[in-house]
Amino acid sequence: MPFEIPESWVWTTIGDISLSILYGVSESAKSEGKYKLLRITDIQNNKVNWDTVPYSDFEDNVQNYILEEGDILFARTGATVGKSYLVNKISISSIYASYLIRVKSSKLVLPAYVKFFFESGFYWEQISMNAVGVGQPNVNGTSLANLRIPLPPYNEQIRIVKESTNWLKRNDILDNDIVELGNAIEHIKSKILDLAIHGKLVPQDPNDEPAIDLLRRINPDFKPCDNAHYKNLPSGWSICRLEDIVDYEQPQAYIVDSTNYSEDYTTPVLTAGKSFIIGYTNETDGIFDNLPVIIFDDFTTDSRFVDFPFKVKSSAMKILRVKKEIDIRYVGFYMIITRLVGDTHKRYWISEYSKLPIPI
């Protein structure tokens, strides 16, 4: 036994509890027809939008393939291999395509219980062991029939489905709350930084040196930008472009030679994206240590403040150093809330991002 089950339960297989396990039809989808033709791509997140499902005029023993409530469809190949769908009530006669296998359970087995089994970790362990092929993994009908499943008495199946459904509903609510909370946090962070770069987060000190004097010390020929978006800046603030206060360096000298990373090594290898530290290297040459800096992904416009020695993954970034009289973290905050999203094959720093106006 893979694991212990209650005394009233029994170990069996999908084949033993199924009336039939049948491949779908090899039929082309049509815009009109007598039957709906359900395909793998029509099943998304355990749901089907039947309005977008195409049609078929297939007639060869078609009754063998008509879907009924309680049927379970199983994706037998491709990236979604192992995914399943429990058929609910459908208003139009429907059949299913050849990359799907239909499992029709015995009347003494609750289809919803089998569907929950098809979502379990134990099920996926068996699928991973039975799937063959690298580029296009697949599981055939025989492998599906041989999958082991713990089967409780029928009344307990009903209780399990009811209790599991209640818990999963709570989980869905929690997932939605987490997403909403995450969005709210990101909005608040963005708003705080936006207030900061508009001079509305902290009180202004009239004795502060005007920013234009500071910028002219950096560059005696500096001329402030005229940008209507920042017309309500506090007195003493000025507008310049990022390139006026930021120098950049190409990262080629600091690219890691080997991707054999290990937690036992000491030097982090960085990317400007969400992963940030993608591993650690033991290489001792080409370590960037003229700190602090901002690393900038030239394709996505993601950026990160860095104050520790590092190497980089690739040339798809710029290493930015801010002029000494400008606070680098202030520039970093500006860059966090100012991203350009467009053609991911385009390099942004020189062509566009460095031209962006920043309030100083």
Using N-to-C axis directions, what is the helix angle for 328-336 and 154-197, rounded to 10°?
130
Helix (H) or strand (E) holding 95: strand 94-96
Distance between CA atoms of 112 and 87, rounded to whole angstroms? 10
- Which class for 133: exposed (0-12), middle (13-18), buried (19 or more C-beta within 10 A)? exposed
- Given a cut of 80, is residue 85 above it in pLDDT? yes
Q: What is the pLDDT of residue 14?
A: 95
State pLDDT tens for residues 188-218. Answer: 888 887 888 778 888 888 888 899 899 999 9
Taking all residues of the chain, what is their mean pLDDT, rounded to a whole number?
Answer: 89
Superfamily classification of domain 211-359:
DNA methylase specificity domains (3.90.220.20)
**Of 220-229, 252-261, 296-305, the least confident:** 220-229
Q: For residue 254, what pLDDT is reported?
A: 96
Q: How confident is the model at residue 342 (pLDDT cuts 50, 70, 90)?
A: low
The whole-number average pLDDT for the span 152-161 is 94
> Does 275 score more than 90 pLDDT?
no
Q: Could you tell me whether strands 94-96 and 35-38 are parallel, antiparallel, or unpaired per DSSP bridges?
A: parallel
- Please report, rounded to a whole number, the percentage of residues in the chain having pLDDT higher than 90: 59
Between residues 305 and 45, the one the model is more confident about: 305
CA distance 81 to 123: 12
- For 2, the token pair is 């893979």
pLDDT greater than 70 at residue 134: no
Q: Please say if the pLDDT value at position 231 is more than 70.
A: no
What mean pLDDT is predicted for residues 283-308? 94
Angle at 46 between CA 148 and CA 164, to 5 degrees: 60
For residue 268, pLDDT over 80 is answered with yes
- The pLDDT, as a whole number, for residue 191 is 85
Locate 104 and state its tokens. 């029709």
Dihedral sign computed on CA atoms, order 126, 129, 130, 134: positive
Give me the residue spans of the domains in the chain: 10-152, 153-197, 211-359
Asked if 89 and 100 count as a contact pair (C-beta separation under 8 A), the reply is no
Any alpha helices (H) in 118-266, and if so which ranges? 121-130, 141-145, 154-197, 211-218, 242-245
What's the predicted TM-score (pTM) here?
0.55
Nearest CA-CA partner of 323 in 331, 312, 315: 331
**Over 70: is that where the pLDDT of 143 sits?**
yes
* Rounded CA separation 144/150 (Å): 15
Are 10-152 and 211-359 the same fold in CATH? Answer: yes
pLDDT range class, residue 228, cuts 50, 70, 90: low
Pairing state of beta strands 43-44 and 267-270? unpaired
Q: What is the band of 227 on the pLDDT scale with cuts at 50, 70, 90? A: low
Residue 38 has pLDDT above 70, yes or no: yes
Q: What's the CATH code, domain 10-152? A: 3.90.220.20
